[in-house]
Amino acid sequence: MTARFVRPVVLLALAAAGCNPPGKPAPKTIPDRPDALVDFNVLYATHCAGCHGADGTLGPAPPLNDPLFLRIVPDAELVKVLTDGRPGTPMAPFAQAKGGPLTAAQVKVLADGLKTKWGAPPTSAAPDVPAYALTGKGDVENGRMAFAMACASCHGDKGQGGKTGDQPVGAINDPAYLALSSNQVLRRYVITGRADLGMPNYAGKTGRPHNFSALTEQDVADLTALLNSWRSPATK
């Protein structure tokens, strides 16, 4: 009689002591202070995903999950842009020193994490990639020729926009668009394209004439100079 009652109770008590009920709090994975957080994924989701997209693509801002971009961009540049932002563009400064939310250590985690997470080792087959940094050597007239060859089929001869198949392509000569874009990002787009939105990179042939050959360092500088020449005088 007693055994019949005691046995289940003892078993239940043993079970309760041995197993972890779902309510038992798991040790914290997130530190107490937000400035002690150094997990790339959490930092990215909190501070970057809004503009650069949840997985680094298909956001309104330039994609960061782009192996070509991560291959050419210097580490120091990533740190600098994260710290200071890009004045005049929607890229805000994120370092606490500049009024942002992140410590220098967190900036470093993000800058390093971009390359470890989304960067790819350079493939030997890839032709010479133009350098990331801006040069002052572009020529607007040569740029026009390069534009006709590399860009006009989608963006129209003057960058006024056009169509690819049945997809409309927006204008890139719009003064407001250019006012919010640094020459650096224009150069970057010329080199990397926007794979997530179907824009080919400096060597891509999609939508380009059959005799198109990869853009050279000089072509990229010329195209950037051309785009810069379209700015309204006030923002040049």
Partner 1 sequence: MKRIITSVGNWFEARLRLKPSVMPLLEHPIPAGAAGPKGWWYVFGSASMTLLFLQIATGIGLALVYVPSADQAYQSLEHLNYRQPFGWFLRSVHYWSGSGMVVMVVIHMTQVFLHGAYKYPRELTWVFGVCLLLLTLGMAFTGQVLRWDADAYWGVGVGASMAGRVPVGGPAVVELLLGGPTIGASTLSRFFALHVFIIPGLLLALVGGHLWLVMTRGISEPPVPGQPVDPKTYDAKYHEELKKGKPFLGDAMTKDGLFSAVVVLVVVALAAVIGPKGPNGLPDPTLTGANPRPDWPFLWLFGLLSLSPAGLETFVMLAFPVVLVIGLLLVPFISNRGERAPSRRPVAVLIVLVGGTTLAVLTYEGMTSPWSPRMSGWSGDPVPVAMVKRSSPLELQGAAVFQLKDCRNCHALDGLGGKRGPDLSSVGARLTRDQLIDQINNGTPGGGNMPAYGKHVRPAEMDAMVAFLVSLRPPGQPPARIATVPAPKK
Question: Under the rule (CB under 8 A), what is the footprint of partner 1?
Answer: 16, 21-25, 27-28, 32-34, 45-51, 53-54, 58-61, 89-90, 92, 161, 168-172, 174-177, 179-181, 197, 235
CB of 170 to partner 1, least distance (A): 2
Nearer to partner 1, 60 or 136 (CB): 60
How near is the Cβ of 175 to partner 1 at its closest, in Å? 7
With 0-12 CB in 10 A as exposed, 13-18 as middle and 19+ as buried, what is 57? middle
Between 38 and 61, CB nearer to partner 1: 61
Question: Amino acid letter at 88?
Answer: G
Minimum CB separation from partner 1 for residue 100, in Å? 10
How many Cα atoms within 13 Å fall on the side-chain side of residue 86?
16
Q: Cβ closer to partner 1: 140 or 180?
A: 180
Residue 99 vs 122, nearer CB to partner 1: 99
CB of 122 to partner 1, least distance (A): 28
Minimum distance from residue 192 beta carbon to partner 1 (Å): 15
Nearer to partner 1, 23 or 136 (CB): 23
What's the chain's Rg over C-alpha atoms? 26
CB atoms within 10 A of CB 65: 21
